[in-house]
Structure 1
Amino acid sequence: MFKGFITVRPACPECGLDYSFADPADGPAFFVMSGVGIAVTLMFLWMEIALRPPMWVHFIFTLPLFVVGCLAALRPVKAWLVSEQFVRKASEAEFSFLGRSGPKQPDA
């Protein structure tokens, strides 16, 4: 599904499925940063309240945990969002009322 770390291939090399429908945009990054950020922040707060470590311990423990957590979760979350777009047949929104305002006026 991927070429490189998170770049989606144009098509599946096994079955030929065209991935042009897949555009998760910034969704995976948002979900991963939010989830990992909340989890690591709660761990940071617990550690600070329970153990009272010096600040250098937080730099050695907490910052790498943020980075590793985000990088480890990004690829599976992106794959999940692409698969959801396929299963749910996601496509661009099409609105029939664009460009009109109010009730239709008769032509004069």
Structure 2
Amino acid sequence: MSSEHDPNSKGQPDTASAALFGLCPRCGGKTLFGGAIQFAPRCRACGLDYTQFNVGDGPAAFLTLIVGAVIAILAIWVQLSFEPPFWVHAVLWIPLTTAMVIGGLRIAKAWLLGAEYRRRAGEGRLKDE
């Protein structure tokens, strides 16, 4: 059953939209981030506590490997094809790497938080009896 026909998901964005635009997984407000890559403590619109989700360092580790491989391949290709001076590499790759890491971290962290919310994932807890 798609989320648009699920009465419990009214107003909730799909995971891809939430990740790309930093939307709250509950209400769809653009309140997920409080900084460049830091989550806000809670949604300003609906009050969802973002601190209850633990996305960890997984996005950063995978993103470092992926962005590093892409930049290394492009830098080698540029060097072998055009043989530019070193400063050209610095001007090209430092800003591109920074943009790809920050943009990618926002998307990856938002994606994981949205997935945790949709699947009601959380830390393992023992019930108080």
Give the TM-score range, shorter chain. Answer: 0.7 to 0.9
Instruction: Give the match for residue 84 of structure 1.
Output: 115
What TM-score do you get using the length of structure 2 for normalisation? 0.62
1:24–1:78 Cα contact (<8 Å) kept = yes
Instruction: Say whether residues 1:64 and 2:110 are aligned partners.
Output: no
Gap regions ≥5 residues in structure 2: 1-31
What TM-score do you get using the length of structure 1 for normalisation? 0.72
Gap regions ≥5 residues in structure 1: 95-108
Deviation (angstroms), 1:93 = 4.2
Instruction: Give the match for residue 58 of structure 2.
Output: 27
Instruction: Say whether residues 1:47 and 2:73 are aligned partners.
Output: no
1:21–1:85 Cα contact (<8 Å) kept = no
Instruction: Give the match for residue 104 of structure 2.
Output: 73
Identity of aligned residues (%): 36
Which residue type is aligned with residue 57 of structure 2? D
2:36–2:102 Cα contact (<8 Å) kept = no
Q: CA RMSD in A?
A: 2.1
What is the aligned length?
95
SS of the equivalent of 2:108 reads: helix
